[in-house]
Amino acid sequence: MAINHLSPPTGQMADNVIGFARALRAAGIPVGPGAVIDALNALQVIEIGNRADVFTTLEAIFVKRHEHALIFAQAFDLFFRAAEEWKHMLDSVPLPDHARKKPPPASRRVQEALSQAQMTETPQAQEQELRLSVSDKEVLQKKDFAQMTAAEIAEATRAIAQMKLPQAELRTRRYQPDARGLRLDMRRTLRGSLRTGGDIIDIHRLGRIDKPAPIVALLDISGSMSEYTRLFLHFLHAITDARKRVSVFLFGTRLTNVTRSLRARDPDEALASCSSSVEDWAGGTRIATSLHSFNKLWGRRVLGQGAIVLLISDGLEREADARLAFEMDRLHRSCRRLIWLNPLLRYGGFEAKAQGIKMMLPHVDEFRPVHNLSSIEGLIEALSSAPAHHRSLIRSAA
């Protein structure tokens, strides 16, 4: 069936399809103008009154990845549920299972995308928005996550997803062909000389292979960190999506490995999977117990090959004793760099008076704030650069 030679329809149906495609793009599904034309042509050869046929047709054209199917189903239901001619068919026409079920993780994002796609603004309003965008972004960069509104948190989440993620490279012991390498590739050089009767004309060289350094994140999800946890998870999801060697653990009163959950492409689905797998969300804090579990069960698995550890916690330990210092020292000796990210550093006069913080500070390489977008950008720069010593900062904080 060749539908590309049909003339695309016009009128209300065409406007609806174009608006629906615009909403899908806003929700994160890549839909180009060619797909919109194919959809308009395909709708001419099916029964337009059959909701299931329309759903299947548009899904086949607009959805190219498995993870986009849930978002498409939710967007289709929200966009077309007001059509009066389809209301009586919802109970009689069998729809696919993923079209009947609401995907809770992406529902809020799809609703926001639909509302944005259906809004029409005057040129004066757009010009005013452009004038305010620069100053608003400057304020948002410095604003504390705990003081943000729901709209500002959504904007901060989008900004985190668009940040340039760390690309620190770790030099390995393996070699690969490299014209500027310092090591002679004797095998390729001699093999090339066979073509010239034994005369060596081209000298081949080898260079070291650089791989992204592994990142291991230990995120505190206790009650005192609840206002920052979600945005930190968005940042860790962005890192996990861009890098393969990332391991994420959540801890409160116990340790939970959520590395597999954060590998989902959709961020809302990944965070929903994390929350369902954690039993001690926004509870107490047992840093020593959690670090002991990590060092004993996971240290040798994920800390090899020069891993960088991000410890995200306020350090308010319930049971601060010598065991905490021992586990921190063991963690520090097992990794390449140990970076402690503490939201309490947002206060200018911060002093390490808590017993747990005093025990943890001597065993970290860097002690950095992480409470706004600016501090996260500073962390990205630190991860992308060579290891630096910040003992002076640690001594001043202590």
Question: pLDDT tens digits, residue range 333-343?
Answer: 999 899 999 98
**H-only helix segments in the chain:** 12-27, 33-42, 51-62, 69-80, 97-100, 104-118, 123-142, 150-161, 186-193, 226-242, 267-277, 287-297, 299-302, 322-334, 355-360, 373-384, 391-397
- Find all residues with CB under 8 Å of 362, minimum gap 6, and list them: 325, 394
Residue 84: pLDDT above 90?
A: no
Q: Per residue in 294-312, pLDDT tens?
A: 999 999 999 987 889 999 9
299 or 182: whose pLDDT is higher? 299
- pLDDT for res 183: 83
| pLDDT tens-digit series, residues 211-231 | 778 899 999 998 888 888 888
Cα–Cα separations (whole angstroms), residue 379 to 165, 232, 387: 10, 12, 12
Q: Is the pLDDT of residue 19 over 90?
A: no
Q: What pLDDT, on the 0 to 100 scale, is given for residue 163? A: 76
For 398, the 3-state DSSP assignment is coil
**pLDDT greater at residue 391 or residue 74:** 74
Angle at 68 between CA 66 and CA 72, to 5 degrees: 125
| Alpha carbons 308 and 387: distance in angstroms, whole number | 10
- Confidence check: pLDDT of 87 > 50: no
Do residues 250 and 258 lie in contact, with contact meaning Cβ atoms separated by under 8 Å?
yes
| pLDDT higher than threshold 70 for residue 396 | no
